[in-house]
Amino acid sequence: MKYTLYAPNKICGDINLPSSKSISNRALIIWALTDGGILPENLSVCDDTQVMIDALKSTEPVVDIKAAGTSMRFLTAYFAVTPGTRILTGTERMKHRPIGILVDALRYMGADIEYLEEEGYPPLKITGKHLYCRPLSIPGNVSSQFITALLLIAPTLDEPLSIQLLDDVVSKPYIDLTRCIMSQFGADVEWTDVDTITVTPGKYKPLKFVIENDWSAASYWYEVLALCDSYDSEVNFTGLQDGSRQGDSVVRYMFSLLGVKTAFTTDKETGSQTMTITRHNCILPRLEYDFSNQPDQVQAFVACCAALDIQFKFTGISTLRLKETDRIKAMKAEMLKLGIVLTEEDGNTLSWDGKKTKADDHIVIDTYDDHRMAMAFAPLSIKYPGLTINNPEVVSKSYPTFWEDLEKVGFEIRKEE
């Protein structure tokens, strides 16, 4: 399947973004660990959350989480403390995404986990058992999901669990999001030092919990507005919270540098909030930013800045090699099709000094089984009419209605098998 895109001159509409898969998957693990737990409301309908739900309800010995990295990390810890033996596996790409740091930490606490193929990588054979609390020291610069997986199971243990994070911590807002959600369910989890987080034992309490909508998904609409030529363009959203603990909620400030402004209004009767983004002038000649805390935003900002002829230097991107694809390599290859020559430094920096080469006559973007590749490049059809996206169905991983929402605001999408 491939989609060829043509954008309208003016972008206006009301969009109901998907609920947050990051919050959904954390809340689901807590629900499964809570006696008499109440299933969270407004759960994400994306692929990653559906495989989590299926895994938690399954009685089969083999659990296939497909391409869901969050599910692989969270379920590894969950299965390690719950009765039974399971084999946890996924796609071929998932079998090459490292999980050794998390497995080593769980084994240090007494977990029974075996590698079934390559050492340090899924698939895993996990037999649930009682774990012991020992002070942990683990790298903080690989994946915050390893840390979150350990935190989520910590209240079920007999003694306090302290985790010291070594080196620079990446995606720290996601750790704080975990801590915030756990606290709402009655867990005692605090930063007890600048590099140490401690969880006191105590059961999660049943709670009615409503998942908020996804700020990560909003970023592609900010990109659309930044690229749109019409200053009369605006998009309205419901379900996004002002003051959200989602790490990617900072896109409202990041995209203000690119001329997209954000405003919240509150209905006096219902208390519900509506967020509106509008298009304004952008005179920024160059942008430098450390994406250590927002790695999922790199693709959108690389594509958007280059299309606006804004030179950039983006650091803190080393974890992009461990995502659904090697996102650094993929971005360099696909941006070259647009004539944009990116430079990589030390696997942690991606920059553009304005260097261009001849663009392809017909730009066809490959998505590498990565939802964020599809969504980051789709808005570029505003500047490159007729841009084609291969395998557009990959957006189901986080934003299943993405293409329908683009059509809702006037994009023409020509679909071919």
Task: Encode pLDDT of 168-196 as tens digits.
Answer: 887 889 999 999 999 999 999 999 999 99
Does residue 387 carry a pLDDT above 90?
Answer: yes
pLDDT of residue 145: 92
Does residue 417 carry a pLDDT above 90?
Answer: no
* C-alpha to C-alpha distance for 373 and 371, rounded to whole angstroms: 5
Q: In the annotation, is 229 catalytic?
A: no
pLDDT of residue 170: 79
Does residue 59 carry a pLDDT above 80?
Answer: yes
Tell me which amino acid residue 52 is: M
* C-alpha to C-alpha distance for 274 and 237, rounded to whole angstroms: 6
pLDDT of residue 364: 98
* C-alpha to C-alpha distance for 360 and 339, rounded to whole angstroms: 7
* C-alpha to C-alpha distance for 312 and 234, rounded to whole angstroms: 26
pLDDT of residue 158: 93
pLDDT of residue 24: 97
In percent, the amount of the chain with pLDDT more than 70 equals: 100
How high is the mean pLDDT of the chain?
A: 95
Residues in CB range of 129: below 8 A, 6 or more apart: 80, 81, 110, 111, 112
Residues in CB range of 180: below 8 A, 6 or more apart: 245
- State the first-to-last Cα distance of the chain, in angstroms, to the nearest integer: 4
Q: Are strands 196-200 and 188-193 parallel, antiparallel or unpaired?
A: antiparallel
Higher pLDDT: 324 or 18? It is 18
pLDDT of residue 180: 96
Q: What is the mean pLDDT of residues 204-222?
A: 96
Q: What is the mean pLDDT of residues 119-134?
A: 95
Tell me which amino acid residue 305 is: C
Q: Which residue has the tokens 């109440």?
A: 38
* C-alpha to C-alpha distance for 85 and 248, rounded to whole angstroms: 36
The model's confidence at residue 305, banded by pLDDT at 50, 70 and 90, is: very high
Q: What is the mean pLDDT of residues 13-26?
A: 96
Cα separations in angstroms, 233 against 260, 276, 277, 278, 367 = 10, 10, 9, 6, 28
The model's confidence at residue 36, banded by pLDDT at 50, 70 and 90, is: confident
The model's confidence at residue 160, banded by pLDDT at 50, 70 and 90, is: very high
Q: How much of the chain is helix, strand and coil, in % rounded to 5? A: 35, 25, 40
Residues in CB range of 54: below 8 A, 6 or more apart: none
Q: What is the mean pLDDT of residues 343-360?
A: 95
Buried (b) or exposed (e) across 139-171, using 16+ Cβ within 10 A? ebbbbbbbbbbbbbbbbbbeeebbbebeeebbb
Does residue 79 carry a pLDDT above 90?
Answer: yes
* C-alpha to C-alpha distance for 130 and 252, rounded to whole angstroms: 44
The model's confidence at residue 393, banded by pLDDT at 50, 70 and 90, is: very high
pLDDT of residue 322: 79
3-state SS class at 145: helix
Does residue 290 carry a pLDDT above 90?
Answer: yes
Residues in CB range of 331: below 8 A, 6 or more apart: 298, 299, 302, 303, 342, 350
pLDDT of residue 313: 98
Q: Which residue has the tokens 């160059």?
A: 286
Residues in CB range of 280: below 8 A, 6 or more apart: 231, 259, 260, 261
- Catalytic residue (choose from 47, 48, 214, 296): 296
* C-alpha to C-alpha distance for 211 and 224, rounded to whole angstroms: 25
Pair 73, 149: CB distance under 8 Å: yes
Does residue 271 carry a pLDDT above 80?
Answer: no
The model's confidence at residue 134, banded by pLDDT at 50, 70 and 90, is: confident
Start-end of H helices in 109-214: 144-153, 172-184
List phi, psi (to 5°) of 364.
-120, 115
Nearest by Cα to 48 from 27, 69, 62: 69
CB-side neighbour CA atoms (13 Å) of 400:
11
